Amino acid sequence: MLIRIIEQFLRETEMAPTRFGRLAVRDPRFVLDLRNGREPRPSMERRVHHFIARERSAQHGR
């Protein structure tokens, strides 16, 4: 489930949910909406997975 992946990422990075939404999908309410039952489209899920992978790659490169 996408929200579980995001929640884990937020814990790992200590990133605020609104910052994540802004950076990943240009929607600061994205995580809150997911927590409240929003079902993202497949294209949105791909954007989120891509963002998380890119961020993790950048963190490991430091």
> For every one of its 62 residues, what pLDDT tens digit does the chain have, with 9 covering 90 and above?
999 999 999 999 999 999 999 999 999 999 999 999 999 999 999 999 999 999 999 987 76
49/42 Cα distance (integer angstroms): 11
Buried b (16+ CB within 10 A) or exposed e, 9-32: beeeeebebeebbeebbeeeebbe
User: Residue 25 corresponds to which amino acid?
Assistant: V
Does the pTM surpass 0.85? The reply is yes
| Cβ contacts of 46 within 8 Å, gap of 6 or more | none
